[in-house]
Chain A
Amino acid sequence: MLRNYNILTAVIALTGSLSLFISGEINPIFSFSPVLMIYGYFRLVKNKPQAPKWTINVLSITTLIIFLLDAFIASDDYLVSVANLTILFQAIKSFDLREPWDNLQVFFMSLLQLIITSEFTNSILFGGIFIVFLSSSVSAIILAHFIKTGSGEKIVLAKPMVFITLITFFLTTLLFISIPRIAGGFWGKGHKKGIKTAGFSERVDFGSFGTVKLDPTIVMRIELSGIERRDLYWRGMTLDYFNGVMWENTESERRLIYKREGFFTIKPYKKQNVTVQKIYLEPIDTEILFGLPSITAIETNSRIISVDGTNTIYIPMKKNKQFFYTAYSVDEPVYSGFIEKKYIQLPEGMGRISELARNITKGKTRTLDKVIAIEKHLKERYTYTLTVQKPPRGVNPIEDFLFRTKKGYCEHYATAMVLMLRSIGVPSRIVTGFYGGEINSYGGYLIVRQSNAHSWVEAVIDNKWQRFDPTPAISIEKPSIIILYLDTLKMQWNRYVVSFSSSDQRNILRLFAFTLKIPDMPDFRLRSIRDILALFLVAFIMSTIAFLIYKSLKREHYAYPTIQYLKAVKILKKKGIKVTDTMTSTEIKSIFVENSLKEKIEELITMYEEHRFGGKILTPDDKKRYRDLVREIELLK
């Protein structure tokens, strides 16, 4: 039994360290430590002597010094340094497990490691590791109990272990559903690393775009519902000022929008025209929210959002972590209002470009026709490529694109179009965001990757901002089925675990309320007596479950013979024989004088006494005999 206990301890120690390593926050240098740890447990299981006390002490003190250096000088991040410390201590401890209760320290450290990991990662792998940790610690604790009480018998662990693990899951799920959500981690520090190679960026220059276009990193996953839309332009932000080399956003005024009943309403809208997008944004280094134009409302956990004059939506102080929101969009062009001068601003030396624009629009009188002509010109006469050669020194990249290479990517096209439009007096701007996405038919959602980053054009026609995209259509390679399926798993993890929101909570409760035929359940803002009652109900159910677990624990810690003996006693009670809890087995035996039951009872009780108090080893045959006897006793009068 001690051997199994030690093996379980090793598994628990491994889950803790492993989880930290999968979080990717641990310096790979530390991987020597789990290797040492495995060796330590190997020795322990083989009953080799543990390391001398002084070695352990020296190592522990050294580790502590390393920890202090690490925490205050090297990594400067207390969580990471605590994680490093536990990894080292786990290895040391594996050579210093002398008494069964020493293992408790290992369990504690593993738990700590798992908690730290939960702050670092949202990985689905972590969920798996957690299950392993949970089930092995449950069994280890049960074993520890038996080691403590000194019962030398073999104990059947499988049933109570599975039972307790399931109950724990059930309770955790219940807690997960019922406890009010707190946005963000406990530590308030975004530990996730943002997506560094930004396909989407808040400015447009003509630099490293090519590599970005090949980057398959997923930026967001979107569940779409509502009105069918063909063109999926995930609008991010607009850029209005071009200095000849790059675009910038000069829009600086932002207006704050406050939440009303869970919603940030940007402008009033009619429900029937709305496209609803549930968006799971991966950690991305921007405060901007994406969505189909034009977003009229946002529903999210965040307290505050702000909007600028170009309908770009920001979450101030959004950290580099996953972010979930629902966007409500209406497919209507936005009324332009007063058009600022900056939308027809042009840098110096654009003569050649405006000449080209005039040539293209020759003979057109309506603005729309002129714009469409330019869009068509760019679409048809230029080639889309991701490998753009750098223009010769001193040459404007757009001129280079328009007149020399005639090859470029979306930013060249969009920039060229805006510059041409501005040169003929049409107010216009660049819009950046993402275009399209792959439909994952398993999960029924859309995957948008860095490679979907795109920029297009908005121009004012008839006092409305309208969208034009001069970039020719490009074919996208479809990813394999397996990849799509795996991504579905990840999406579901994100959807139902990571970004489980209070509105989901309400939905689930409503579902329960429906099945229980209770008219409506509260949304956990205690407003009435009924809400409080409902809360009490939940508390009552939880405590009942806790009590049942306690009872089952009390029952389950009996060894097999005792369980069978108790079964028989229960049967006797049912048969109307007066048996009390303070009766000894000897007394129960002596109740019966002369009948067929006496024989069976005596045999069973004697077996029980031998196994329980006599230290006789329980064999599978004995078990069978127990079962048979209990059954026979049940059948006899």
Chain B
Amino acid sequence: MGNDLLYKLQSQIEIVIKGKSNVIKKAFITLLSKGHLLIEDIPGVGKTTLAYTIAKSINCSFQRIQFTSDLLPTDIIGVNIYNQETREFEFRKGPIFSNIVLADEINRTNPKTQSALLEAMNERRVSIERKTYLLPEPFMVIATQNPIEYHGTFPLPESQLDRFMMHIKIGYPDEEYEKQILLQPSPIEIADKIKPIITSADIIRMQNEIDNVTVEESLLDYIMSIITETRKDDRIRLGVSPRGGQFLLRSSKASAYFDGRNYVLPGDIKELAPLVFGHRIILKTKSYISDAEKVIEDILDKIPVPL
């Protein structure tokens, strides 16, 4: 079952990150639907490894940006430097000019730098002094947030969070896998050894093929009723935006494609809805994203599935 190439990719990455096939699948779904991924988790569960391995196996460039409070926008997007020989300013591209960008601990930096990243993410281009530079294709930002430490952080506002297609957690590996991890060398070492299975061109082709996945009309109604319900629910202050709905549909198509189907199932939608909507809604009580996901799951348990 499933798309053979993607399945192969998934199992290869699983060699590096053990017992996390579901997370890998979500990352690929985000990549295929041209979205960006927000991972909220504690350090040391393999966020960096995941991003690095993905980049490696699809033969793409990879950059990691460690966000700190003194990071400047130019540190991300690049800077114009005066070239003394040519007597011209020339643009030195920042680390964002990569296919896979890992924005580590994005909430540690100041809002100005955050918004520079998010704008580039959204528009897939960088403008400096009236000159526009396109970002490479495929392009995906994997941002991470540490949910425990709040001291000295700048939490992303909801409007910024909305730009991420999906929000996932990696979580601790199962005991059985963790034992294996104890024994093996550092994951980056393993990742360095893996060979690319496909090229970035393949990814672009797949991204285009997702448009051919069909969606039966009742499924649109299903998505609509989930969205409407988030806007009506007593616990929710702000419901899902139209962009949220678009993202859910696109990611559901990618999920179907990943499984080797050319049609979306209600299961695709129901599985992804908490991940796509969880960070988009604002609860009335102060809370973590994981609480919001629970509310979404709760709503999903109330809406009849199209038959």
Contacts of B264 in A (CB 8 A): 613
* Inter-chain contacts of A612 with B (CB < 8 A): 216, 307
Q: Is the CB of B266 within 8 A of A584?
A: yes
Q: How far is the CB of A586 from chain B (nearest CB, A)?
A: 2
| Residue in contact with A613 in the complex, picked from B219, B271, B303, CB distance below 8 Å | B219
- B240-275: which residues lie under 8 A (CB-CB) from chain A? 261-271
The residue among B261, B264, B265, B269 with the most chain A CB atoms within 10 A of its own CB is B265
- Given the complex, which residues of A lie within 8 Å of B262, measured CB to CB? 614
Complex: chain A residue closest to B301, CB-CB: A582
Give bound CA distance, A562 to B305, whole Å: 12
- Nearest CB on B from A122, distance (A): 47
| Cross-interface CB contact of A614 among B263, B270, B271, cutoff 8 Å | B263
Which B residue sits closest to A583, measured CB to CB? Answer: B305
Please, how many angstroms separate the alpha-carbon atoms of A617 and B89 in the complex?
Answer: 63
- Interfacial chain A residues near B263, Cβ < 8 Å: 609-610, 613-615
Q: A610 CA to B218 CA in the complex, in Å? A: 15
A149 touches B217 (CB 8 A): yes
Question: In the complex, what residues of A have CB within 8 A of residue B302's CB?
Answer: 582
Residues of A within 8 A of B267 (CB): 584-587
A565's closest neighbor in chain B, by CB? B307
Chain B: minimal CB distance from A151 (Å)? 9
Do residues A587 and B270 form an inter-chain contact, with CB atoms below 8 A? yes
A586 touches B265 (CB 8 A): yes
Please, which residues of chain B bring their CB within 8 A of the CB of A263? none
Given A150-B217, A609-B265, is A584 in contact with B270 using a C-beta cutoff of 8 Å? yes
Residues of B close to A562: CB separation below 8 A: 307
Q: Kindly state whether residue B13 has any CB partner on chain A within 8 Å.
A: no
- Say whether A534 faces chain B, with CB atoms less than 8 Å apart: no
Closest chain-A Cβ to B138's Cβ sits at a distance in Å of 27
For residue B270, which residues in chain A have a CB less than 8 angstroms away from its CB? 584, 586-587
A566: CB under 8 A from chain B?
A: yes
Kindly state whether residue B292 has any CB partner on chain A within 8 Å.
no
Distance in Å: Cβ of A147 to nearest Cβ of chain B: 12
Do A586 and B307 form a contact, CB below 8 Å, given A150-B217, A613-B263? no
List residues of chain A with CB within 8 A of the CB of B307.
558, 562, 565-566, 612
Contact A581 B305, beta carbon cutoff 8 Å: yes
* Contact status A585-B214, CB under 8 Å: no
Q: How many residues of B contact A (CB 8 A)?
A: 23
User: What CA separation (Å) do A151 and B110 show in the bound complex?
Assistant: 52
Q: Given A150-B217, A612-B216, A615-B214, is A582 in contact with B303 using a C-beta cutoff of 8 Å?
A: yes
Question: Which residues of A546-575 have CB atoms within 8 Å of chain B's CB atoms?
Answer: 558, 562, 565-566
B217 contacts A614, C-beta separation under 8 Å:
no
Write out, one digit per residue, whether chain A residues 566-609 have a CB within 8 A of any chain B CB (1) or not (0): 10000000000000111111110000000000000000000001
Contact, CB under 8 Å: A584 / B214: no
Q: How far is the CA of A5 from the CA of B19 in the complex (A)?
A: 54
CB distance from A38 to the nearest CB of B (A): 35
- Cβ-neighbour of A586 out of B268, B300, B303 (below 8 A): B268
Least Cβ distance of A570 to chain B in Å? 12
A609 contacts across to B, CB distance below 8 A: 263, 265
Q: Is the CB of A585 within 8 A of B266?
A: yes
Residues of B within 8 A of A582 (CB): 300-305
| A580 contacts across to B, CB distance below 8 A | 301
Distance, CA A451 to CA B253, complexed state (A): 83
Bound complex: CA A149 to CA B271 (Å): 25
Interfacial chain B residues near A613, Cβ < 8 Å: 216, 219, 263-266
Closest A residue, CB atoms, query B1 = A606
How many chain A residues have a CB neighbour from B under 8 Å? 20
Interface membership of chain A positions 17-46, coded 1 if the CB is closer than 8 angstroms to chain B and 0 otherwise? 000000000000000000000000000000
Q: Bound complex: CA of A613 vs CA of B253, how far in Å? A: 12
With the chains together, A97 CA to B263 CA distance in Å? 33
Closest Cβ of chain B: how far from A604's Cβ, in Å?
A: 14
Q: Mark A196-239, 1 if CB is under 8 A from B, else 0.
A: 00000000000000000000000000000000000000000000
Please tell me if the beta carbons of A586 and B266 are within 8 angstroms of each other in the complex. yes
Chain B residue with the shortest CB-CB distance to A588: B267
Q: How far is the CA of A527 from the CA of B126 in the complex (A)?
A: 88
Residues of B within 8 Å of A566, CB to CB, are 307
Interface string of B264-290 (1 = CB under 8 A from A): 111111110000000000000000000
* Interchain CA distance A562-B302 in the complex, whole Å: 20
Complexed CA–CA distance, A613 and B269 (Å): 13
Across the interface, which residues of A come within 8 angstroms of B216, CB to CB? Answer: 612-613, 615
Task: List A contacts of B261 (CB < 8 A).
Answer: 614
Q: Is the CB of B265 within 8 A of A585?
A: yes
* Complexed CA–CA distance, A614 and B271 (Å): 18
Which chain B residues lie closer than 8 Å to A581 at the CB level? 304-305
Residues of chain B within 8 A (CB-CB) of A614 are 214, 261-263
| Cβ contacts under 8 Å, A558 to chain B | 307
The 8 Å CB contact of A584, one of B217, B218, B305, is B305
In the assembled complex, the CB of A615 is this many whole angstroms from the nearest CB of chain B, namely 6
Interface centre among B219, B263, B307 (most CB of A within 10 A): B307
Least Cβ–Cβ distance between A313 and chain B, in angstroms: 67
The residue on A at minimum CB distance from B271 is A586
Q: What's the nearest-Cβ distance from chain A to residue B274, in Å? A: 13
Please name all residues of chain A whose beta carbon is closer than 8 Å to the beta carbon of B305 when the two chains form the complex.
581-585
Shortest distance from the beta carbon of B264 to any chain A beta carbon, whole Å: 7
A583 to B214, CA, bound (A): 21
**Which B residues lie within 8 Å of A149 (CB)?**
217-218
Chain B 188-227: CB-based contact to A (< 8 A → 1; otherwise 0):
0000000000000000000000000010111100000000
State in angstroms the CA–CA spacing of A400 and B303 once bound together: 98
How far does the alpha carbon of A613 sit from the alpha carbon of B217 in the complex, in Å? 9
Inter-chain CA distance A610–B265, complex, in Å, is 9
Q: Mark B170-190, 1 if CB is under 8 A from A, else 0.
A: 000000000000000000000
**In the complex, which residues of chain A have a beta carbon less than 8 angstroms from the beta carbon of B268?**
586
Among A580, A581, A610, which residue has the most Cβ atoms of chain B within 10 A? A581
**A149-B217, A613-B216, A613-B219 as given contacts; A584 in contact with B304, CB under 8 Å:** no
Q: How far is the CB of B299 from chain A (nearest CB, A)?
A: 10
Question: By CB atoms of chain B within 10 A, which of A150, A565, A583 has the most?
Answer: A583
> Which residues does chain A contribute within 8 Å of B303, judged by CB atoms?
582
Please report the C-alpha to C-alpha distance between residue A105 and residue B265 in the assembled complex, in whole angstroms: 37
Q: From residue B22, how far is it (CB to closest CB) to chain A in Å?
A: 12
Chain B's nearest CB lies how many Å from the CB of A583? 7
Q: Which residue of A lies closest to B218 (CB)?
A: A149
Least CB distance, A391 to chain B, in whole angstroms: 88
- CA distance in complex: A18, B166 (Å): 63
Residue of A nearest to B266 (CB): A584
**Distance (whole angstroms) from the CB of B256 to the closest CB of chain A:** 9
Chain A residues 149 to 171 lying within 8 A of chain B, measured CB to CB, are 149-150
- Of chain B, the residue at the smallest CB distance from A616 is B263
* Closest 6 A/B residue pairs (Cβ): A586-B267, A584-B267, A614-B263, A584-B266, A613-B216, A613-B263
What are some 19 contacts across the A-B interface (CB < 8 A)? A149-B217, A150-B217, A558-B307, A566-B307, A581-B304, A582-B304, A582-B305, A584-B265, A584-B271, A585-B265, A585-B305, A586-B266, A587-B270, A609-B265, A612-B307, A613-B219, A613-B263, A614-B214, A615-B216
Add 9 more A-B contacts to A565-B307, A615-B263 (CB < 8 A): A149-B218, A566-B307, A581-B304, A582-B305, A584-B266, A587-B267, A614-B262, A614-B263, A615-B214
